Amino acid sequence: MGVPQYKEVRRAYGFDEVSIAPGQVTVNPDQVNIEFSIDSIMFSAPILASAMDAVVSPGFAIEMDKQGGLAVMNLEGVQVKYDDPDEVLAQIVEAPPEEVTALFQRVYAAPVREDLIGARIEEITSNGARCAVSITPANTKRLAPVAVEAGADIVVVQATVTTARHISKSPRGLIFSELLGMIDVPVLVGNCVAFDVALELMETGICGVLVGVGPGATCTTREVTGVGVPQVTATMDCAAAREEYYRRTGRYVPIITDGGIRTGGDLCKAFACGADAVMIGTPLAQSEEAPGKGFNWGMASPHPALPRGTRVEVGVKGSLRQILYGPSSKYDGTQNLLGALEVCMGMVGASDIRDMHEKAEIVLAPSIKTEGKHYQLGLA
Amino acid sequence: MGVPQYKEVRRAYGFDEVSIAPGQVTVNPDQVNIEFSIDSIMFSAPILASAMDAVVSPGFAIEMDKQGGLAVMNLEGVQVKYDDPDEVLAQIVEAPPEEVTALFQRVYAAPVREDLIGARIEEITSNGARCAVSITPANTKRLAPVAVEAGADIVVVQATVTTARHISKSPRGLIFSELLGMIDVPVLVGNCVAFDVALELMETGICGVLVGVGPGATCTTREVTGVGVPQVTATMDCAAAREEYYRRTGRYVPIITDGGIRTGGDLCKAFACGADAVMIGTPLAQSEEAPGKGFNWGMASPHPALPRGTRVEVGVKGSLRQILYGPSSKYDGTQNLLGALEVCMGMVGASDIRDMHEKAEIVLAPSIKTEGKHYQLGLA
Amino acid sequence: MGVPQYKEVRRAYGFDEVSIAPGQVTVNPDQVNIEFSIDSIMFSAPILASAMDAVVSPGFAIEMDKQGGLAVMNLEGVQVKYDDPDEVLAQIVEAPPEEVTALFQRVYAAPVREDLIGARIEEITSNGARCAVSITPANTKRLAPVAVEAGADIVVVQATVTTARHISKSPRGLIFSELLGMIDVPVLVGNCVAFDVALELMETGICGVLVGVGPGATCTTREVTGVGVPQVTATMDCAAAREEYYRRTGRYVPIITDGGIRTGGDLCKAFACGADAVMIGTPLAQSEEAPGKGFNWGMASPHPALPRGTRVEVGVKGSLRQILYGPSSKYDGTQNLLGALEVCMGMVGASDIRDMHEKAEIVLAPSIKTEGKHYQLGLA
Amino acid sequence: MGVPQYKEVRRAYGFDEVSIAPGQVTVNPDQVNIEFSIDSIMFSAPILASAMDAVVSPGFAIEMDKQGGLAVMNLEGVQVKYDDPDEVLAQIVEAPPEEVTALFQRVYAAPVREDLIGARIEEITSNGARCAVSITPANTKRLAPVAVEAGADIVVVQATVTTARHISKSPRGLIFSELLGMIDVPVLVGNCVAFDVALELMETGICGVLVGVGPGATCTTREVTGVGVPQVTATMDCAAAREEYYRRTGRYVPIITDGGIRTGGDLCKAFACGADAVMIGTPLAQSEEAPGKGFNWGMASPHPALPRGTRVEVGVKGSLRQILYGPSSKYDGTQNLLGALEVCMGMVGASDIRDMHEKAEIVLAPSIKTEGKHYQLGLA
């Protein structure tokens, strides 16, 4: 048919549509290395805790550091708006469902207090833990220096969508190369999903890219605005940018898949698709140590005019250690996430994460939907 | 296998299968322009209210005009068949479900009264609002002059499927070029879904094309007759016709996606696929100002021999202003539809709707079905 | 990846995955001609009633003839095994669900009585109605001459899968060219789904091919044996065989899509895919005139060792006339099937069924699954 | 769009997405031969019972041999860990759901007793039945000689994923060519899903390959680790390896599809995709003879740190004979599995399993999901 094509429609894939094919050689899981680094900072576990108020408190950040990963504290949330954040968190958790959105809009209208930024960061670092903080682009020039001054080891600049170039009325917006001149700690930036945007961000000199728009459990960005790219394709495209940038410059900028990871299977797929690390929210909100007490909500949920997501009851499933390293008493993939990664890498035959990038084959296998009935038998 | 191909099967896409990829540059939502025009008539909001009796009454049309959009009044419905349409609407709303179809068939059998056409149009225009009316092709030659005489600003000729050429027993059917000679207001025509039909309609001189066959919430045309084309493909094909016609003639004929839009996400996708405006029914039937009082039904629902659709309870979700501009207390995409469009255009990096057409990338991302489980968490 | 391809996997389509695109010209439904013929026997409606005991009794066959279609009587069912079939039918209808399969296996073990064949056929023809009968290949040589002798106008040789060549222990099986020499009425054969099989069957001289393996509502052949081809592809492939055979010989052998048609939409799609007529069971079992009294079951349901399907409660929805021609008080596509066909042909711009074959465009539009939620709103 | 492709995504298919097209010639089911052999050991039925504790006890193995198939006993399960396995099985069956995983972890922590291996094997062989046992790679060098000494006819080396090469800390792991020098019975190895791995395994001299990673009813490997390949693709790829190896060497190494087969339809599809035999668990756990008494669980369910699957209630559906050979009183494909295979081969026109490999055409027909609604009618 002679219909001119108005616009190309490119196929994109999500975690539930793919699986990982086993490799030609297998490796014993105890021979597998899962280390990860941001700039020169090493982590024994390639896992970041999302900058959500229900996930990361100073206490949680200290525990996450002990377990080898990195918690990112939200620098525009209740921890830096209230003297007693626990009281505010309790209000949110206890509010009747129909009042939650209005309560969010009220609670988050309070201003950020710079004195509290210092206090929270010090609480983390004085316990010997590494400290990362998350700031939105609009507030970065003001708050990032405060956080670094207070001892933050890593700054994450994060919004639903972030690009290297932004058009606004403000005379001078955030320019990443300028920011990097102002502060002397590694900067991670997100979120992005595209090859060219990831490449352009890397060219500014930042030290890591967060990947993912739309897929998180507490976020309805795709429902509300139509915008979103499934994580398998987003991760692969940004991994292609990392390889291209590395080829050109010799500098390796890790990419961190953020959003949509609920099980060990999802986590393993992110690495198989090229992630160097993952950022997760809901699975960690389910830990005993999380401040959300069995609830979670997204950073866009309190938006005053266009809320995207609400409070979600996620339950408490075990200690943080158990969720990350097992032993597991669940068979549904929500515990021993890193043990699952090591078993997966063993089946793929990968000795470390770079080897996983190279060896893991991805198959498009949407039949999980129907074969899922079998699994559900097992989950009943 | 040597099986000769009997017929090509072309893949078509619907809203739920696609999403919009963010752009390479972002724009602040307050920098975005969403104006729309039909011929020389300007609207500050690119949104038309469907010509459904449960959506548009004279009172609703006045309110819609205040909000910057355009309501289309059904010129073959209860407003122009009954002295007291509110009484008839109340009967429909209160009828037991099993009696609704028969009641529709009885209520809509009444004739159109030309005196009421004048009265309803005057009620709208005397309040300073723009007035658009919808007529089926068979009645257009008789009713369109009456409506224009009474002050209608725009005439919409609309049936389930409309083409520039129609074969019937009547000695002389509707010919659009002749109609345009009879009346001196802009004419919109629909519905169509195909490149060639849209092009042929534009060549008659009409000022806009309504796009969509089969996808609406109150319509079962596809179930009953097998006919229908999903809106992403229908919109793209008609947008291709608009571009081709503009390239040939320099005249820009807007296309208006009509049907299947329930959320801000759907609405944003329509623009990303090439729509200049959208026509929506159900989301507006959910406003406090709608005459349906929380119910809606389609124009083909009362068909005497082949009804397609019935009365649907849609609920009342807020004021018209809130549904269009927020602020929203819902996080599911049913409020602040135009705020969502501005946020979306900002993430795409589009400064106006033509820029949105050019910059928005569409990805085929059916994983929404499974990732939707996540969203549902948030919606529980 | 260098994996040699073991076997090609060809994509096949079912009714629910496709829809019909409207045409470039529209035709008034009252201008549309839906006649159909088998050899020189004309029918005003292109519709056959399935050879199921719950659908076709002599009384039903007479009524079907009055409505312009053709009922096919099962010549191995209760009508020709029992003096009082109504009593046996009542037993089946009233049996508790857990006893139905065993009852089927017992009831259908009774032998066919040749005297009853004559009686039933005469009951139909003496009322002036055309009479068609269905026989399985194994019994055709014995029963077909009896039926023709008794006055049958058309013989249908039908099994789950029928080919022109069959390998068995019996010294001489059924050979269609020999059968055609024995009886002088048109023979229809089925079921088949493939281009080459349909072509080979046409070459034997038979007068029509029934298309469909696996899709029917009362059949679980695909679940039990893995065998089945969705109807859109099966119909298109057999239509390609009809065109090829017609091109070679000038003889036009109609194809009849049998199975999987529940709504007017499905029926319209069958014609759009190349069917000359359709054979339907469940929609007719829902008529007041059907002997199943609101139940239906398939011809393979009583298989003694490998039953495929069981008794299904389908309900009684209206008179046969209403189901075929309306007027409809339902909006879900189960009534006024032929009115729906005429409306569909009008939207496609087809003046008769051959024109429908030529003009109807098929789009692959699986989004019905999600858009179906909208319909369900309307069906609540 | 100029996005470099980071990684290829290959489409893989599962049973529910495909169906088998009937052939050009049909064969009477009583003319069909379904024999199968491993090395020189012949079986009248091409069916193996999974090495699951809920499926295979010595008593079940004897009955399975009588029916012409082969049961594989788990040589690391309760039969060889406990003097009275029935008592332990009863504990598992009776445990409350929330205690099952912990009970598994405790019960399976007990060591394998070599004396019990001899006793159980002798119980089987002294009844004249063929005996096969399953061992994981880590224990094969120790336990395989014990089992062969005790009279095992076939040794199966089986883990979630097995390759010809494995990297571990142990100075000398399992090398198949060495194992084959130690024992003089046929060795089967699994599981694998890939062309190259299957080929490499065949080159070691083993006598059969088990195919399948992730699809079983009692296993959540894909959920937990992301690893899995749907069975249609896995079977075809390993069948391609068998053909390639046969072409090169003249030795025919059968492949056995293991996992994901619930119905006769699934079983028939496995053969159509190239399987020489199938290994099934759940359908046999549903037999009266199975030790699981209506329950089933997988071999990875008791994993101490990363359990994959749990106890599933599967019900008791009939005798083993009835499940394999009918007659069936069920119409859902769970009984008379081998009768279904013969009927299927008849419709395909295949006289034996090699002929089935050659003649069966596979179509991708995911519409089963919607057409499934019809079946469900029949299953209500």
Q: What is the pLDDT of residues A115-170, one digit of tens each?
A: 999 999 999 999 999 999 999 999 999 999 999 999 999 999 999 999 998 888 87
Q: What is the reported pLDDT for D357? A: 98
DSSP run (H or E) holding D379 = helix D368-379
Dig out the tokens for A229 from the structure: 């790219």
Residue of higher predicted confidence among B85 and A167: B85
Question: What average pLDDT does the segment D300-322 reach?
Answer: 90
Q: What is the reported pLDDT for D172? A: 72
Asked if residue A207 has pLDDT above 80, the reply is yes
pLDDT in tens, A311-328: 999 999 999 999 999 988
Asked if residue B9 has pLDDT above 50, the reply is yes
Confidence at A367, pLDDT banded by 50, 70, 90? low
Question: What average pLDDT does the segment D60-69 reach?
Answer: 98
Cα–Cα–Cα angle for C246, C251, C256, rounded to 5 degrees: 80
Dig out the tokens for B322 from the structure: 């809130």
Mean pLDDT: which of A74-88, A91-105, B325-339, C171-185 is highest?
A74-88
Q: Which chains touch D (3 or more CB pairs under 8 A)?
A: A, C
Question: B158 CB near a chain C CB, below 8 Å?
Answer: no
Among A347-361, B212-226, C35-49, which stretch is predicted with the lowest mean pLDDT?
B212-226
Confidence at D309, pLDDT banded by 50, 70, 90? confident
DSSP-derived 3-state class of residue C351: coil
Confidence at B23, pLDDT banded by 50, 70, 90? very high
Distance of CA D266 to the CA centre of its chain: 13
Single-letter amino acid code for the residue at A192: C
Question: What average pLDDT does the segment D7-26 reach?
Answer: 94
Residue of higher predicted confidence among B306 and B236: B236
Question: What average pLDDT does the segment B329-337 reach?
Answer: 87
pLDDT in tens, A249-297: 999 999 999 999 999 999 999 999 999 999 999 999 999 999 999 999 9
Confidence at B367, pLDDT banded by 50, 70, 90? low
Question: B273 CB near a chain C CB, below 8 Å?
Answer: no
Pairing of strands A361-364, A18-21: antiparallel
Question: What average pLDDT does the segment B113-124 reach?
Answer: 97
Contact A12 B364 (CB under 8 A): yes
Distance from CA of A74 to the nearest CA of D (A): 30
Question: A301 CB near a chain B CB, below 8 Å?
Answer: yes
Asked if residue D248 has pLDDT above 80, the reply is yes
Question: Chain C contacts of D10, Cβ < 8 Å?
Answer: 1
pLDDT in tens, A3-38: 899 999 999 999 999 999 999 999 999 999 999 999
Question: Chain D contacts of C313, Cβ < 8 Å?
Answer: 380
3-class secondary structure for D333-377?
A: CCCCHHHHHHHHHHHHCCCCHHHHHHHCEEEECCCHHHHHHHHHH
Single-letter amino acid code for the residue at B365: A
Question: Chain A contacts of D309, Cβ < 8 Å?
Answer: 331, 378
pLDDT in tens, C248-260: 999 999 999 999 9
ipTM above 0.90, yes or no: yes
**Chain A interface, mutation test: which of D3, D6, D375, most A Cβ atoms within 10 Å?**
D6
pLDDT in tens, C185-227: 999 999 999 999 999 999 999 999 999 998 876 778 888 999 9
Residue of chain A minimizing CA distance to D13: A365
Question: Chain C contacts of D379, Cβ < 8 Å?
Answer: 220, 310
Sign of the Cα pseudo-torsion (C103, C105, C110, C113, in order): positive
Question: What average pLDDT does the segment D345-349 reach?
Answer: 97
Contacts of C41 (CB under 8 A, 6+ apart): C130, C153, C154, C186
DSSP state of C193: -
How many other C-beta atoms are found inside a 10 Å radius of the C-beta of residue D352? 13
Confidence at D367, pLDDT banded by 50, 70, 90? low
B15-364 belongs to CATH 3.20.20.70 = yes
Please list, residue by residue across D149-170, b when 16 or more beta carbons sit within 10 angstroms of its beta carbon and e when fewer do: ebebbbbbbbbbbbbbebebee
Confidence at A238, pLDDT banded by 50, 70, 90? very high
Q: Which chains touch B (3 or more CB pairs under 8 A)?
A: A, C
| Separation between Cα atoms, residue D163 and residue A28, nearest integer Å | 12
Question: D307 CB near a chain A CB, below 8 Å?
Answer: yes
Contact C218 D378 (CB under 8 A): yes
Distance from CA of C329 to the nearest CA of B (A): 6
Closest residue by Cα to residue D114 from D84, D150, D154, D88: D150
Single-letter amino acid code for the residue at A321: R
How many other C-beta atoms are found inside a 10 Å radius of the C-beta of residue A318? 18
Residue of chain C minimizing CA distance to D29: C168
Question: What are the beta bridge partners of residue A167?
Answer: B27
| Separation between Cα atoms, residue B22 and residue B208, nearest integer Å | 29
DSSP run (H or E) holding B90 = helix B85-94
Question: What average pLDDT does the segment B318-325 reach?
Answer: 96
Q: What is the reported pLDDT for C78? A: 97
- The average confidence (pLDDT) of chain D is 92
Asked if residue C308 has pLDDT above 90, the reply is no
Residue of chain B minimizing CA distance to A262: B374
Question: A348 CB near a chain D CB, below 8 Å?
Answer: yes
Question: What average pLDDT does the segment A49-68 reach?
Answer: 98
Q: Which chains touch C (3 or more CB pairs under 8 A)?
A: B, D
Contacting C residues, span 229-258, partner chain D, CB-CB under 8 Å? 229-230, 233
Question: A95 CB near a chain B CB, below 8 Å?
Answer: no
Which residue from B30, B240, B333 is facing A6, i.e. has the nearest CB? Answer: B240
Asked if residue B380 has pLDDT above 50, the reply is no
* Active site annotation includes C131: no
pLDDT in tens, D206-245: 999 999 998 876 778 888 999 999 999 999 999 999 999 9
Question: Chain D contacts of A351, Cβ < 8 Å?
Answer: 167
Question: D226 CB near a chain A CB, below 8 Å?
Answer: yes
Give the rounded percent of residues in chain C with a pLDDT score beyond 70: 95
Which residue from D10, D25, D366 is facing C1, i.e. has the nearest CB? Answer: D10
Cα–Cα–Cα angle for D276, D277, D283, rounded to 5 degrees: 155
Closest residue by Cα to residue A212 from A232, A226, A196: A232
Give the rounded percent of residues in chain D with a pLDDT score beyond 90: 82
> Which position has the token pair 């399975």?
D64
Q: What is the reported pLDDT for B299? A: 83
Confidence at B291, pLDDT banded by 50, 70, 90? very high
Which residue from D3, D8, D165 is facing A240, i.e. has the nearest CB? Answer: D3
Question: What average pLDDT does the segment C348-354 reach?
Answer: 97
Question: What average pLDDT does the segment D23-43 reach?
Answer: 96
3-class secondary structure for chain A?
A: CCCCCCCCEEECCCHHHEEEECCCEEECHHHCCCCEEECCEEECCCEEECCCCCCCCHHHHHHHHHCCCEEEEECCCHHHCCCCHHHHHHHHHHCCHHHHHHHHHHHCCCCCCHHHHHHHHHHHHCCCCCCEEEECHHHHHHHHHHHHHCCCCEEEEECCCCCCEEECCCCCCCCHHHHHHHCCCCEEEEEECCHHHHHHHHHCCCCEEEECECCCCCCCHHHHHCECECHHHHHHHHHHHHHHHHHHHCCCCCEEEECCCCCHHHHHHHHHCCCCEEEECHHHHCECCCCCCCEECCCCCCCCCCCCCCCEECCCCECHHHHHHCCCCCCCCCCCHHHHHHHHHHHHCCCCHHHHHHHCEEEECCCHHHHHHHHHHHHC
Q: What is the reported pLDDT for D3? A: 86
Pick the catalytic residue: B219, B238, B268, B273?
B219
Question: What average pLDDT does the segment B367-374 reach?
Answer: 39
Q: Which chains touch A (3 or more CB pairs under 8 A)?
A: B, D
Contact C7 D326 (CB under 8 A): no
Distance of CA C22 to the CA centre of its chain: 26
Question: Chain C contacts of B259, Cβ < 8 Å?
Answer: none
Asked if residue A368 has pLDDT above 80, the reply is no
Domain residues of chain A, as ranges?
15-364
Asked if residue D22 has pLDDT above 90, the reply is yes
Dig out the tokens for A262 from the structure: 């609920």
Asked if residue B372 has pLDDT above 50, the reply is no
DSSP state of C33: -
Q: What is the reported pLDDT for B208? A: 98
Distance from CA of C133 to the nearest CA of B (A): 30
Q: Active-site positions of D?
A: 219
Per DSSP, helices labelled H in chain C are 58-66, 85-94, 100-107, 114-125, 137-149, 176-182, 195-203, 221-225, 231-249, 264-272, 282-285, 320-325, 337-348, 353-359, 368-379
Contact D348 C102 (CB under 8 A): no
Confidence at B114, pLDDT banded by 50, 70, 90? very high
Distance from CA of D122 to the nearest CA of C (A): 36
Dig out the tokens for D177 from the structure: 């060519």
- Do residues B108 and B300 lie in contact, with contact meaning Cβ atoms separated by under 8 Å? no
Residue of higher predicted confidence among A60 and A372: A60
Which residue from D162, D168, D226 is facing A31, i.e. has the nearest CB? Answer: D168
- What does each C-alpha distance from D94 to C175, C228, D108, D257 come to in angstroms? 60, 41, 17, 31
Question: What average pLDDT does the segment D260-277 reach?
Answer: 97
| Separation between Cα atoms, residue C345 and residue D264, nearest integer Å | 41
- Do residues B121 and B133 lie in contact, with contact meaning Cβ atoms separated by under 8 Å? yes
Closest residue by Cα to residue C175 from C144, C148, C147, C221: C144
Four-point Cα dihedral B199, B205, B206, B207, nearest 10 = 90
Q: What is the reported pLDDT for A172? A: 73
pLDDT in tens, D353-365: 999 999 999 999 9
Dig out the tokens for C25 from the structure: 């010209």
Distance from CA of B13 to the nearest CA of A (A): 9
Residue of higher predicted confidence among C142 and A374: C142
Asked if residue C66 has pLDDT above 80, the reply is yes
Q: Return phi, psi of residue B160, to 5°.
A: -50, -50
Q: What is the reported pLDDT for B370? A: 36
Contacting C residues, span 165-224, partner chain D, CB-CB under 8 Å? 165-169, 192-194, 196-197, 200, 213-220, 222-224
Q: Return phi, psi of residue C72, to 5°.
A: -110, 120
Question: C9 CB near a chain B CB, below 8 Å?
Answer: no
Contact B223 C22 (CB under 8 A): no
Pick the catalytic residue: A131, A192, A207, A219?
A219
- Do residues D52 and D282 lie in contact, with contact meaning Cβ atoms separated by under 8 Å? no
Contact B21 A307 (CB under 8 A): no
Question: D14 CB near a chain C CB, below 8 Å?
Answer: no
Q: What is the reported pLDDT for D67? A: 98
What one-character-per-residue DSSP string does C72-130 give? EEETTSGGGT-S-HHHHHHHHHHS-GGGHHHHHHHHTTSPP-HHHHHHHHHHHHTTT--
| Separation between Cα atoms, residue C235 and residue C297, nearest integer Å | 23
pLDDT in tens, C67-88: 999 999 999 999 999 999 999 9
